[in-house]
Amino acid sequence: MTDDETQGTLDCDVAVVGGGPAGSAAAITLARAGRDVVLVDKATFPRDKCCGDGLTTGALRHLEALGLRPDAVASWQTVTRTIIRSPSGRTVELPLPAGPGAGTFAVVARRAELDAALLERARAEGVKVHDGHALTGATVPAGERCVHLAVDGLGTVRARYVVAADGMWSPLRKALLGGAGETEGYLGEWHAFRQYLHHGGPEAQRGLWVWFEEDLLPGYLWSFPLPDGRLNVGYGVQRGSKHWPEPLGKRMAKLWPELLARPHIRAVLGPDAEPEAPHKAWPIPARIERTILGAAGGRALFVGDAARATDPMTGEGIGQALESGVLAADAIVAAGSLRPWLAQRRYEAAVNRTLALDNRVAGLLSTHGVAHRKGIRIAVALADTNDWTRRTFGRWLFEDEPRAGLLTPARWHRRFLRRPGAYA
């Protein structure tokens, strides 16, 4: 393939649109398999992404396999406990394994730094990264075996395949699927709010705090510790609930100062904790099991938030973004450049065996469990039964094993919920 930027055309095997976790994971996997990969992102990195910055064990295992080194991310903060408070005020502390050889089970890392470091990894693997260049359109000309992408400042990128890792609003999904991509009026399953605070107190530094406030259900508030007394604090609620009518964003913004001032929350954050930047809000898409995963006869595959891959119970999506990126890349490599329909079929099958099943289970647990006061009370009481339940529940909650792991024998192994964490 040729690379002729001067004439405004760039050819490659695979184009990846979006340089978040999903795009970088796909690009790294493809480059390692010898594919010529061009990645474009409209943002110039490092760029912020509105997020809780929490990395689950599942996400960490993927990051390790992709070659990301913790010391490449300045704000990398390992955490070894989660503290959950039910609406009635009962708290349970869930310890994660710690100590020599235990490995890492939970980390908080600023997305601005994490995503830039992962993109740097992609560059090091040979991916041609063009950040600061937005996709503006996409076509599949009749009779041609490639997708043509219109990219600001680059011209046309021609690729055998394109991986759409362009986030919740996926412009590529809109360009290729239009209404068929269910983009009209879709606002995601969750809406979430985040603010960075500084001068957080010692309680807040102790672990990942999660509050199930009665008036936030179905939803929760979090405070995740970062180095130097900084905190990532935010809350998310499920869209469409009768407790949370639209306009959701405005309602959430109005409630925010009052939430931060609640005595039991302020007691954890500390008296001196104060915002260091304005708050941000963003939707969370969580319905991969009901989402179109490919377009253009299989030449375009959707991953991460563009595939609505987030966990419907917690709103966590970094691990799912990484996993879907790897699965799509594997499918492209296995199908080869001439059988795009096979790539799509393989990708769909892989997602159905893993992420879609996990999300179905998480969706059920969410609807019948943590969306209600009673469900949370039962979950907290069960988790708090003894040391074993506290340890095991903590690991399961933090996706040490897939949500539907127990239901999928293909993913069983002898050290289920007992193996070391990542970076052991």
Ligand X SMILES: Cc1cc2nc3c(=O)[nH]c(=O)nc-3n(C[C@H](O)[C@H](O)[C@H](O)COP(=O)(O)OP(=O)(O)OC[C@H]3O[C@@H](n4cnc5c(N)ncnc54)[C@H](O)[C@@H]3O)c2cc1C
The residue ranges that bind ligand X (CB under 6 A) are 17-23, 40-43, 49-54, 59, 134-135, 165-167, 171, 192, 194, 234, 282, 284, 304-306, 310, 315-319, 321
Q: 272: closest CA among 337, 220, 199, 175?
A: 199
Nearer CB in complex with ligand X: 23/219: 23
- Between residues 151 and 388, which has the closer beta carbon with respect to ligand X? 151
In which element (H, E) is residue 65 found? helix 57-65
357: Cβ contacts below 8 Å, ≥ 6 apart = 289, 402, 404, 407, 408
At 98 the three-state DSSP class reads coil
For residues 93 and 36, the answer to whether their CB atoms sit within 8 Å is no
Through-space distance between the first and last CA atoms of the chain, rounded to whole angstroms: 41
Q: How far is the CB of 30 from ligand X (least distance, A)?
A: 15
- CB of residue 88 vs ligand X: minimum separation in angstroms? 25
State which residue, 288 or 343, has the beta carbon closest to ligand X: 288
Q: For 103, left (φ over 0), alpha (ψ -120 to 50), or beta?
A: left
User: In the numeric block, which tokens belong to residue 120?
Assistant: 């740097």
| Nearest-approach distance from CB 128 to ligand X, in angstroms | 14
How far from chain centre, in Å, is Cα 110? 13
Minimum distance, C-beta of residue 172 to ligand X, in the bound complex (Å)? 7
Nearest distance, CB of residue 236 and ligand X, angstroms: 6
Q: Output the DSSP codes for 309-322.
A: BS-TTT---HHHHH
Nearer to ligand X, 83 or 342 (CB): 83
CB of residue 32 to ligand X, shortest distance in Å: 18
- Two tokens, residue 231: 């905190």
Which CB atom, from 22 or from 66, has the smaller least distance to ligand X?
A: 22
Q: Considering beta carbons, is residue 43 or 72 the nearer one to ligand X?
A: 43
Nearest-approach distance from CB 58 to ligand X, in angstroms: 9
Eight-class DSSP state of 43: S
Q: Which is nearer to ligand X, 92 or 108 (CB)?
A: 108
Dihedral over Cα of 26, 67, 39, 189: its sign: positive
> For residues 79 and 217, which CB has a smaller minimum distance to ligand X in the complex?
79
Q: Is the Cβ of residue 134 or residue 406 nearer to ligand X in the bound state?
A: 134
Nearer to ligand X, 324 or 336 (CB): 324
Three-state DSSP class for residue 418? coil
Give least dist CB 188 to ligand X, A: 9
Strands 37-41 and 9-17, by their bridges, are: parallel
Q: Is 83 exposed, middle or buried (0-12, 13-18, 19+ CB in 10 A)?
A: middle
Q: 110 φ, ψ to 5°?
A: -60, 130
Instruction: Residue 398: name the closest of 25, 112, 83, 72 by CA.
Output: 83
For ligand X, the closer CB: 290 or 339: 290
Min separation Cβ 409 and ligand X, Å: 26
Cβ at position 65, least distance to ligand X in Å: 16
Q: Quick one: the chain helix, strand, coil %, rounded to 5?
A: 40, 25, 35
Tell the smallest beta-carbon distance from residue 307 to ligand X (Å): 8
E strand residue ranges, 107-240: 107-108, 128-131, 135-139, 147-151, 155-164, 190-198, 208-211, 219-225, 231-238
